[in-house]
Structure 1
Amino acid sequence: MKAWQKQGIGLENLKLVEVETPKPGPNQILIQVKAVSLNFRDKSIMDGDYLPDLMSKPFIPVSDAVGIVVSVGSEVTQFKVGDRVVSHLYTKWVDGAPSEDYAPTAVGGPNDGGLAEYMLLEEYAAVMAPANLTDEEASTLPIAALTVWFSLVEYGKIKAGDTVLVLGTGGVSVYATQIASALGARVIVTTSSDAKGERVKELGAKEVINYVKTPDWEKEVLKLTNGKGAEHILEVVGGDSINRSIEALALQGHIYIVGFLKSMMAEVNLFALLAKQARIQGIYVGHRKAFDEMNKAFNELNIHPVIDTVYSFDEAIQAYEHLGRGAFGKIVIKVSE
């Protein structure tokens, strides 16, 4: 089969190769990949920033994939040939707390991912794709959507009327706007672009703060909420942004650390954190049970992912480059018809 393989650090070391099509073991399924989507994690892996020691050997990248089951192992009971499934990032995190060694179980690094014509998955590392989504849409679910769902629903117990502050308009942030709005929350979004601001309003955002025109966006959040602040904040920036998020937070509110676009390191104002009684939660996507629950909700709420651009399989490097420039919504690579 044809596959893209990470053979070193940098996009120049992402190579299109021919490899053996894998065969499923007793508890595995083989899918014909239809589409994959890219996340910041994929870029960080290629750049050598994301767990470089773990990602040192050659592998097929990209964790988020949708495909049709074409072969099943002898002991598989949950899926049959012809089922349309989506990959789950952490293959052994099914429910509850993860095991201490769950990071090395991830697909798309260090284990082979979906940027290939076929993909091998453990039976418990797949979920049924929502029937209301196209292949391209379903491919965007495993990291970006589940990260938001796990933050707001699993940890945050979000309820209608809560205020959610979403930083930026990347893939996770756009999903946060859609999901929080669908669940009845008031959504405030920060962006550097008035045009993107109009687009998130179409997705349900009630207010938009242009942080170029209003650099003190945390003060603007307090103003918009009559001094109360936001009960939930999706923090994707990293660095000193955490202190601004604490200032914009409601008392005993939740900050979900889901990314580090600016910096992995932060110097935190502990007094402000204590005064707000802030609940700061690191989010590393979520477990398979939550993924199943989210997919059912996507069907019921009829949420459709926002896709910026769909690239062909041969255009994988261009897709990564586009991700690096920034996008509104998700970057998708169509692998097969």
Structure 2
Amino acid sequence: MAAQIPTTARSYYFPALGSYTNLTLQTTPLPALKSTYVLVKIHAVSLQFRDLMIALNRYSHGNLPENLVPCSDMAGEVVAVGSDVTRWEVGDRVCANFATDHLDGDVNAETTKSALGGGQHGVLTDYRSFPDNSLVKIPGHLSFEEASTLPCAALTAYNALMGPKPVKAGDTVLVLGTGGVSIFGLQFAVASGANVIATSSSDDKLEIAKKLGATHTINYNTTPDWDKGRRGVDHILEVGGPGTFEKSLASVRYAGYIHIIGSVSKNASTLTSVIGPCIGKAIILRGIRVGSVAQFESMNRLLRARPEPTRPAVDRVFSFEEAVDAYAYLESQKHVGKVVIRRIPGYGFARWVMVLMWNGVNPETE
């Protein structure tokens, strides 16, 4: 068994930031496994908007290590455990938490430094070791591709909706766009019995949102005043930032929650009247920084309890050799749900689309 433990790993890194086309493949020796660490063979990695911002050198949160190995979200298989590890065995299927030191409770300055693909090197690699307490078990019904979408997008949406005032049956949830966090937010809200309003500039994407359980859909290009004349929603997943925030202020109900997650909107806007609406409607603004290992385990219990409505929406899968193409596809914003890079050899340049999932085809077995 010991002879099968790898001594080197292939990984992508950025010798310079500014473009994802700078991604460069390298082979480096694996360090000796620490007593409380677990060595994981990484099968799949999913991309985040954050990964794109880092590649383009537009990310402002924290210092990045030189020659950064990117990406935070992975799913893989345990191939070796340190001498003091008792929680994991060879063959276990695991994900690592986004911030490996964020085990429970509130996020703080120290735990944010342990964010994968940011404060420390990431997971776009063959093999990587992790602290044993930073790992969670993958729900048995999920493929590696599906599970790789959980650490950031899924947990961010779960943290937002299951936070201080958890979403409940009969609530109304507004999700902006059809990216990874928004789609998971839609699915978790539906699984909780809430009504979901989804927005997009694409009618085709809105049709997918309907299939996933959205009660109402809005094309914000054809209905630019979509925030007018509504009762007000209980929760908003605010991923647009400057381009959508004022509309979110208008759309939320009195004492409703706006969960501030991202700033992907290309439509610049000046926030001229934030304080007044927040006071006038007693709005709760809550910034979201992914979540802890404890929340990850709690989320996985929901995934196991409601496997079908919460099944991750994987839009497209690229091979390890197509990493640059995967970044380009993410940048195009053509996707609904998640973009995944599959590491395992033998799948070549095959790509899957979400309609296969709906038709009962499992990429793990095809």
TM-score bin (small chain): over 0.9
- Structure 2 residue 268 is the aligned partner of structure 1 residue 260: no
Cα distance in 2 between the residues matched to 1:6 and 1:250: 44
Tell whether the 8 Å contact from 1:238 to 1:265 is kept in structure 2 after alignment: no
Partner of 2:316: 309
Partner of 1:225: none
1:261-276 maps to which residues of 2 (within 5 A)? 261-262=264-265, 267=271, 268-276=273-281
Cα distance in 2 between the residues matched to 1:128 and 1:56: 28
Partner of 1:323: 330
Give the 3 Å change call, closer, same or farther, for CA 277–52 of structure 1 in structure 2. closer
Question: Could you tell me which amino acid in structure 1 is paired with residue 227 of structure 2?
Answer: E
Tell whether the 8 Å contact from 1:57 to 1:110 is kept in structure 2 after alignment: no
Q: Could you tell which deviates more after superposition, 234-243 or 17-26?
A: 17-26
- Structure 2 residue 169 is the aligned partner of structure 1 residue 160: yes
Q: Could you tell which deviates more after superposition, 131-140 or 53-62?
A: 53-62
Tell whether the 8 Å contact from 2:156 to 2:181 is kept in structure 1 after alignment: yes
Partner of 2:94: 85
Alignment gaps of 5+ in structure 2 = 1-8, 346-366
Identity rate, percent: 39
Partner of 1:283: 288
Q: 1:155-192 CA deviation, whole Å, 9 max, x = no partner? A: 33111000000100111111111111111000001111
Q: 1:214-242 CA deviation, whole Å, 9 max, x = no partner? A: 0011116x1xxxxx210000000001421
Instruction: Kindly state the Cα deviation for residue 56 of structure 1 after the two structures are TM-superposed.
Output: 4.8
Cα distance in 1 between the residues matched to 2:149 and 2:243: 29
- Structure 2 residue 143 is the aligned partner of structure 1 residue 134: yes
Cα distance in 2 between the residues matched to 1:102 and 1:298: 26
**Which TM-score applies when normalising by structure 2?**
0.87
Runs of 4+ in structure 1 displaced over 3 angstroms? 263-266
Cα distance in 2 between the residues matched to 1:123 and 1:280: 34
SS at match of 1:180: helix
- Structure 2 residue 301 is the aligned partner of structure 1 residue 299: no
What is the aligned counterpart of 1:333 among 309, 323, 341? 341
- Structure 2 residue 52 is the aligned partner of structure 1 residue 43: yes
- Quote the RMSD (CA, aligned, Å): 1.6
Instruction: Kindly state the Cα deviation for residue 73 of structure 1 after the two structures are TM-superposed.
Output: 1.1
Partner of 2:156: 147
Partner of 1:2: 10
Cα distance in 1 between the residues matched to 2:269 and 2:291: 23
SS at match of 1:42: helix
- How many positions carry a matched residue from both structures? 331
Question: Could you tell me which amino acid in structure 2 is paired with residue 316 of structure 1?
Answer: A
**Which TM-score applies when normalising by structure 1?**
0.95
Instruction: Kindly state the Cα deviation for residue 55 of structure 1 after the two structures are TM-superposed.
Output: 1.5
1:22-33 maps to which residues of 2 (within 5 A)? 22-33=31-42
SS at match of 2:278: helix
Partner of 1:234: 237
What is the aligned counterpart of 1:250 among 231, 249, 253? 253
Tell whether the 8 Å contact from 2:43 to 2:77 is kept in structure 1 after alignment: yes
Cα distance in 1 between the residues matched to 2:337 and 2:108: 32
Cα distance in 2 between the residues matched to 1:165 and 1:286: 21
SS at match of 1:161: coil
